[in-house]
Chain A
Amino acid sequence: MSEKILMCGNEALAEAAIVAGLDAYFGYPITPQNEIPEYMSKRMPEEGRVFLQCESELAAINMVYGASATGKRAMTTSSSPGVSLMQEGISYLAGAELPSVIVNVMRGGPGLGNIAPSQGDYFQATRGGGHGDYRTIVLAPSGVQELVDCMPLAFDLADQYRTPVLVLADGILGQMMEPVVFNKKPRRKLPPKDWALTGADNRKQNIVRSLWLKEGVVEQHNYDLQAKYKEIEKNEILCEQYEVDDAEIVVIAYGIAARIVRGAVNKARQEGIKVGWIRPITLWPFPTEQISKAAENFKIFLTVELSCGQMVEDVKLAVAGKVPVPFYGRPGGGVPTVEQVLEKIRQLTLRPENVV
């Protein structure tokens, strides 16, 4: 499929995963991502690969764990409440260093919340969510084409670093239709999976585990994990900048919020306001250095999210008090309009002294 076709985000990411070499998909229905298991239930058998509708998200993530332990490319997808249930499994995947891809098409929370788009799971995604000292790589595309492009990257990152990778989308991205092209771009050279469980046939036993009872072993395991995370932080940060060269105000947003902000930035520019835009594509590793550097040139950093303010904490850490970091967002399924963001930008321009 190299021609341009119109697809919704959910189906597009499913096809992209298949193109990326997905061996097995395990999932449980939850809105707003049901197009993914439905699409997979048809396409995976066509490709001679595994599709399974599980009894719960708990089972789904553990089936991913099982398939991944044998060296296969495995994925599950869900939405916020379902991803909460998966946190135990994600901690085990991180501890046992099993490559895996988890897509969260976020909806309003907390609790059962609603089925409207949200970015309320930023903390959960970037801070681990499960128990223990671990990190997961988090990719946050802002359009259907980027969603398609980040799926092969997610699988490659998972395999290269032997770590779970989260793709953080939301109800709008999952549902909206955009033209996409499935490019077969050159891929990374990946290490062999000599750790995988394939049967101890003329070789020593392989063990996949996250438990070591001997004193100091888990401590060392944690240092090894941290060294790997440092490596990821060094190599894998993705971030986009727009209209920042002469900007006085910079707006930071990711995912679908960034699309809205981009519209507001364009309109503000037409009004003569010097405003730019920074969009983290990896939420972990976070573009701390890029933002810290930018803070030396701008007067204000406005953060916009579909939440009560989660990424804004990382922005504040990066800015380290150099300039004000005001926040604008709407939680629980509320989606800021271009006009609302524009109004916020206007207010900051008119009364910067009121900025907190």
Chain B
Amino acid sequence: MMQKVFTKPEALKDCQTHYCPGCGHGIAHRLIAETIDELGIRGRTIGIAPVGCSVLAYDYLDVDMVEVAHGRAPAVATGMKRTNPDKIIFSYQGDGDLAAIGTSEIIHAAHRGEQITVIFINNAVFGMTGGQMAPTTLLEQVTTTTPLGRDAGKQGYPLQVSELLAILPGAIYIERCALSNPAQVRKAKKAIKHAFELQLNNAQGLSLVELLSPCPTYWRMTPAKAIEWMENEMIKIFPLGRLKG
């Protein structure tokens, strides 16, 4: 008898994604799908896709999903969870979506202690629009709108949203992980599962997992170099670990 050691999660569709080689979204999608399978919540989960590279997340995640305006996912999630307390609501948001245009919505959702789970993908750049500066872009990082590198005097410092959110009583669990190597990916999986479990167990407040994620295309690097840059540079500004809960 052959033993099956690797299989596709039920909550993940069997198809190719549109993501670039070396992108972290595919890994993040898979971790969410595995979590949904393991917790047996596919039939009561509703996901929210952002505006950004992962706007088509519903093409890959096989759960009920809604696509919303740029940055507004936490408000939409609030409307869903308040009217459907028995459902598991998660938003999937990039750093442009959550940390730029949607700062008001995420801060107030956390502030109110909404019982939702947020998966926050931080790749330090606007991907879908072609590699412009994000609030999370590192100092000296070259993007299409910081051709000379980000200058703190002109464009401000990288925004550490998770640290900001962690001070709010309504945010009960905040952890930052990195999709950089198998060990870190396993940690990320644990964090995502914990965030979903909190909601499943009716814990009173918002849970958020920030995932540092490579974007070789707009970092102008090979996928291998991108992982190195993430581990050597990005983690210095966005230190890994549990910030709350």
Contact = CB atoms under 8 A, between A and B. Distances in A.
Interface of A: 23-24, 26, 50, 52, 54-56, 58-60, 62-70, 72, 74, 88-89, 92, 96, 197-202, 205-211, 213
A55 B104 contact: yes
B44 A70 contact: no
Contacts of B43: 199-202
A67 B72 CA distance: 13
Interface residues of B, number: 31
Given A70-B87, A89-B69, A54 B80 contact: no
Contacts of B63: 199-200, 205
A71 B2 CA distance: 46
Contacts of A89: 69, 72
A199 B66 CA distance: 11
Contact of A66 (B42, B58, B66): B66
B222 interface: no
B83 A74 contact: yes
Interface string B55-81: 110100011111111001001111110
A65 B76 contact: yes
Contacts of A197: 46, 64-66, 80
Contacts of B187: none
Given A63-B75, A74-B79, A199-B64, A92 B44 contact: no
B82 to A, nearest CB: 5
A74 B82 CA distance: 11
Contacts of A201: 42-44
Given A58-B104, A207-B66, A209-B58, A199 B76 contact: no
A200 B76 contact: no
A62 B64 contact: no
A92 B66 contact: no
Given A58-B72, A62-B105, A66-B77, A205 B65 contact: yes
Contacts of A207: 58, 64-67
Contacts of B48: 66
Contact of B84 (A70, A88, A208, A209): A70
A64 B87 CA distance: 17
Contacts of B58: 205, 207, 209
B108 interface: yes
A157 to B, nearest CB: 21
Given A200-B62, A209-B58, A70 B80 contact: yes
B223 to A, nearest CB: 25
Contact of B75 (A66, A68, A209, A211): A66
Contact of B79 (A63, A92, A209): A63
A67 B69 contact: no
Interface in B206-223: none
Contacts of A206: 64-65
B45 interface: yes
Given A59-B104, A62-B105, A70-B87, A209 B76 contact: no
Contact of B76 (A56, A63, A210, A213): A63
A59 B66 contact: no
26 contacts: A50-B83, A55-B108, A58-B72, A58-B104, A59-B72, A60-B75, A62-B75, A63-B78, A65-B68, A65-B76, A66-B66, A67-B79, A74-B79, A89-B69, A199-B42, A199-B43, A201-B42, A201-B43, A205-B62, A205-B63, A205-B64, A207-B58, A207-B66, A208-B66, A208-B67, A210-B67
Given A197-B64, A201-B44, A205-B63, A66 B80 contact: yes
Nearest to A203: B43
B78 A52 contact: yes
A197 B49 CA distance: 13
Contacts of A205: 58, 62-65
A69 to B, nearest CB: 5
Contact of A200 (B64, B69, B104, B108): B64
A60 B108 CA distance: 12
Contacts of B64: 197-200, 205-207
